[in-house]
Structure formats: structure tokens, C-alpha cells
């Protein structure tokens, strides 16, 4: 695979309603990741936030992907939310041991922190990150509003991230909050997604944007306009951004991701995405 200026991905690889539009009608659930990885460059591994997978599942994920694919696994919520990173070394060690077969295919280990994790906890984050080897790619997503106030707390966080080579995960939830709460999916998104300012700062080499889309695909383009300028700037600086696309129910997330990628390609030379497997030219898949 040629060098990728940017890695495009979704929040999941398995969705029952993608059967006819993305995977192809004959795809079995066990084949979905392989078909997903034939098109997209990365994926958010949300499943690890809720539970550590079995060793066999990890091996299946490895068998279903290729060496140029990258996962961005979230650390378990038991570590980040329940223990707030305190006394977490045994849990982290156990988790990383289970995930070890995929270590070379992890683009970023995501430390997603709750809104309750504020500036007074910054030292806990700093101590926790020292548990990782220096060459392990980390991303931190904060949700406490003090880290978005452009004051001392945010400056200290950003400066430490830059000095440590850790990426700050960027949440862009403007599109979904611009949608009227008139469907169950949008109402649920408004309740669960953080409504935080967009601070487009690259603190390390792989800035990650989590773009939470509007349910009407065309309504996302005005919100994406600023990224059409910012992403090429980062690529020009030698960074490799990660662009993760969500929608309230994720049914049309693959189509939205492709549209935004095509829009971005008008500003910078990007390799074409492979066709969706359901559209033909699907690779032969192996069961595992």
C-alpha cells in the first residue's frame, strides 16, 4: 500500500444495516472486519472500552486485517472512568497483554476521560502515561470544560502533550448538535455526545478528529469546510491525521466518510478509496 497522507475510518466495523449497502449480501458477520479493512484505513475500537476481548477474538481481528491497517483502541472504562487512572497499572498490564498480538497494528491507544476528570487530575494522567513505553502511540480525549477555556489548565495540558508526543483527540460534534432532536438516534446522540468547542490543535504526529455527523449527509459539508484547509496543512507538516466519521445511528457513516474524503481530495492529492464490497470487485475472503 502506498503511503497514506490521512487515515479515514469509522467508529465501528460491524453494523447489521450495512449488509446490502457496504458489505454485500453474502457477507457473514465474521467476515465484516475483513471487508471493512479492504476499504478504510483505520477504525475506532470502541468495543474495548466496554470489555477486554478474549485472546481468541484478538487473534481473529489480526487475521482479518492487514499490516497497513490501524486500530485505535479505547482503554477500558474501568481504567479511565471507574478508577480515573489511579492504581491502574495491574489492569493496564493485563489489558495490553491480551491485546499484544495487535500491538503493531495500533495507530493510537485512546485514553478517553470523563467530564469529571478536570485540571486537578492532570498529574494522574501524567503518571499514568509514564506506564507506557515511549514509542507507544497515545491519544487523550478530555471532556472537562476547563480544558477548553484557553486558560492555564488548557495551556498546561497542551504543553505537556506536545512535550510528551501525545496526540490530543479532537471532538467535532457541531454537526450532530445542529440537527433537530426529532429522531430517537439524534436524541440519544445529544444526550451522550459531548458538546465541547472544537480546538484544532495537533500536539503530536497523528492528530485525530472525531467528526460526529448530521443525519442529513449534505448538511455536513459546511461544518467540514474548515477541515478541508486544516488537514492539508497538517499533512504538509509531515503529520498523518486520523479522520473518524460518526453519525447518530451510523447507518450511512460509510457513505458520509467517502463523501468527505472525496471533498478533501479536492484540496490535496489522496489515494482513491477502494469500492465498497457491495458495489463489486470485492476481495475473496477467508473464514476464521
Q: What is the pLDDT of residue 5?
A: 97
CA distance 131 to 104: 18
**pLDDT by residue, tens only, the chain of 288 residues:** 458 999 999 999 999 999 999 999 889 999 999 999 999 999 998 899 999 999 999 999 999 999 999 999 999 999 999 999 999 999 999 999 999 999 999 999 999 999 999 999 999 999 999 999 888 999 999 999 999 999 999 999 999 999 999 999 999 999 999 999 999 999 999 999 999 999 999 999 999 999 999 999 999 999 999 999 999 999 999 999 999 999 999 999 999 999 999 999 998 999 999 999 999 754 444 333
Residues 6+ apart with CB under 8 A from 125: 85, 111, 113, 117, 140
Q: What is the pLDDT of residue 284?
A: 43
The full set of domains in the chain, from first to last, is 8-169+248-279 (3.20.20.410)
Q: What is the pLDDT of residue 97?
A: 97
Q: What is the pLDDT of residue 3?
A: 80
Amino acid at each position: 500500500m502506498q503511503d497514506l497522507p490521512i487515515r479515514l475510518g469509522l467508529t465501528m466495523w460491524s453494523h447489521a444495516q450495512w449488509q446490502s449497502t457496504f458489505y454485500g449480501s453474502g457477507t457473514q458477520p465474521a467476515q465484516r472486519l475483513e471487508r471493512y479493512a479492504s476499504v478504510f484505513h483505520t477504525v475506532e475500537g470502541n468495543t474495548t472500552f466496554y470489555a477486554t476481548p478474549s485472546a481468541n477474538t484478538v487473534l481473529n481481528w489480526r487475521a482479518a486485517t492487514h499490516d497497513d491497517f490501524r486500530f485505535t483502541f479505547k482503554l477500558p472504562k474501568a481504567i479511565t472512568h471507574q478508577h480515573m487512572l489511579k492504581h491502574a497499572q495491574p489492569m493496564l498490564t493485563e489489558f495490553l497483554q491480551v491485546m499484544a498480538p495487535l500491538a503493531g497494528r495500533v495507530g493510537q491507544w485512546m485514553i478517553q476521560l470523563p467530564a469529571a476528570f478536570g485540571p486537578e487530575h492532570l498529574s494522574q494522567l501524567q503518571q499514568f502515561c509514564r506506564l507506557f513505553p515511549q514509542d507507544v502511540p497515545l491519544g487523550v480525549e478530555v471532556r472537562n470544560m476547563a480544558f477548553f477555556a484557553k486558560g492555564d489548565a488548557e495551556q498546561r495540558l497542551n504543553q505537556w502533550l506536545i512535550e510528551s508526543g501525545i496526540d490530543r483527540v479532537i471532538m467535532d460534534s457541531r454537526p450532530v448538535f445542529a440537527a433537530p432532536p426529532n429522531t430517537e438516534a439524534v436524541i440519544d446522540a445529544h444526550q451522550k455526545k459531548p458538546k465541547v468547542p472544537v480546538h484544532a490543535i495537533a500536539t503530536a504526529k497523528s492528530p485525530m478528529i472525531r467528526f460526529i455527523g448530521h443525519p442529513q449527509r449534505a448538511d455536513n459539508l459546511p461544518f467540514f469546510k474548515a477541515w478541508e484547509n486544516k488537514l492539508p496543512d497538517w499533512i504538509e507538516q509531515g503529520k498523518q491525521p486520523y479522520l473518524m466519521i460518526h453519525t447518530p445511528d451510523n447507518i450511512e457513516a460509510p457513505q458520509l466518510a467517502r463523501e468527505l474524503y472525496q471533498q478533501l481530495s479536492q484540496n490535496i492529492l489522496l489515494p482513491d478509496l477502494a469500492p465498497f464490497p457491495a458495489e463489486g470487485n470485492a476481495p475473496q475472503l477467508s473464514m476464521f
